[in-house]
Structure 1
């Protein structure tokens, strides 16, 4: 049975009325058990694409700042693990929680463009801004610990630390903008493809219901 939103005056007598939570569980179960994978590519693989995008941006930024602060092999695991897996995990979780759930429910107060913009904004923040802030700070602390670079004291000289990070980030300012726009594009695209997956399933279910009624 296809899930749809209607006003109470338009609900047929034989319709099953679900709460928002019940509707979300029903639609999620329906999508997860859908046999034709080509109909639900966006829903099934979209969040993993965003997770991969977050992973690679974290990897690139961590590699860049490690090189700038001359860390060589010092603390490799302690920076790569959080810098790669935190953006990847947060990209997946924040999208599923704050975007995909509304796409599945087809909320009337969440227009398609608004959802795409939300998906773009969240992915841009989590996939670019978050690792851009975290990477230099994590690697600065290691550079200070292993004395691989002359690092100002963060507590006593925060302005010097900020200026140092800005100086080291300047050569890749264009790349950072490209990463942000790329992450935002992926966030918007995945949201669109997820909505298309939901529409595909609902249309095919509605067609099957019409065929059963006319048979």
Structure 2
């Protein structure tokens, strides 16, 4: 683990000082761009869910904003770093792992992480947080949490109220996640090949 951490640290230092930066934009800013997309997608889910639970005003806005927008965005950054970035860096930097590197697998993984963080997690968090807020402000008849069938029906009804939006958000997150991961793979290959042939940075 310490070897991988050292490789990751060295590689990120190389990327931060690479010229031109436009040739490594995905490596330098891809995770941040995807996290912003996750935050935007999560916010759209939150707005639609608040409308479903009749929370139109600023009632309990911060209490729903934190778990629905902030947590998925932070979770995305952690998952992306652990399951995509580090795998990619170690795959290109360590000879023993380079042959086993599967770029398609990483692209699928990037899309999946983006979809879960940008749609699935916000939906689950928004239902629970908005339901709690609606109970406090008496804006929507929420069944008791022990009545599992009614709770499940509520979740389905809530998601069904903006199913088209959810489908579009899922597709958009999948495309963004896959595209940025694909560019990261290409730029990792470029950096590795350039360093091996020219060794411009140490």
Tell me the TM-score normalized by structure 2. 0.86
Q: Which runs of 5+ in 1 are unaligned?
A: 1-18, 211-215
Q: Does 1:84 align with 2:69?
A: yes
Matched, 1:25 2:9: yes
Aligned partner (choices 6, 21, 27) of residue 37 of structure 1: 21
Pair 200,146 (structure 1): closer, same or farther in 2 beyond 3 Å:
same
Q: 1:27·1:105 contact (CA, 8 Å) conserved in 2? A: no
The alpha-carbon deviation at position 20 of structure 1 amounts to: 4.1
CA positional deviation for 1:182: 1.5
What do the CA deviations read for 1:157-181 (whole angstroms, capped 9, x no partner)? 2211221221122132222122112
Show the counterpart of 2:152. Answer: 162
One of 170, 174, 178 as aligned partner of 1:188: 178
Q: Is the 8 A contact 2:68 2:121 kept in 1?
A: no
Q: 1:68 to 1:199 in 2, by over 3 A?
A: same
Matched, 1:140 2:131: yes
> Where do 1:31-180 residues align within 5 Å?
31-71=15-55, 72-106=57-91, 107=97, 108-155=99-146, 157-180=147-170
Q: Which has the larger radius of gyration?
A: 1
Cα distance between partner residues in 2 of 1:78 and 1:149:
17
Distance 2:90 2:84 in 1: 10
What is the CA-CA distance between 1:26 and the residue it aligns to? Answer: 2.6
Q: Paired residues, what number?
A: 192
Shift in Å, 1:203: 2.9
The alignment partner of 2:142 has SS state of coil
TM-score where L is the length of structure 1 = 0.81
Change (3 A) 1:21 1:184: same
**2:94 aligned partner:** none
| CA RMSD, Structure 1 to Structure 2 (Å) | 2.0
- Contact 2:38/2:73 (CA < 8 Å) preserved in 1? yes
**Deviation (angstroms), 1:21:** 4.3
Unaligned runs of 5+ residues in structure 2 are: 92-96
Deviation at 1:146, TM superposition (A): 1.3
- In structure 2, C-alpha distance between the alignment counterparts of 1:115 and 1:73, rounded to whole Å: 40
For 2:75 and 2:126, how far apart are their aligned partners in 1? Answer: 15
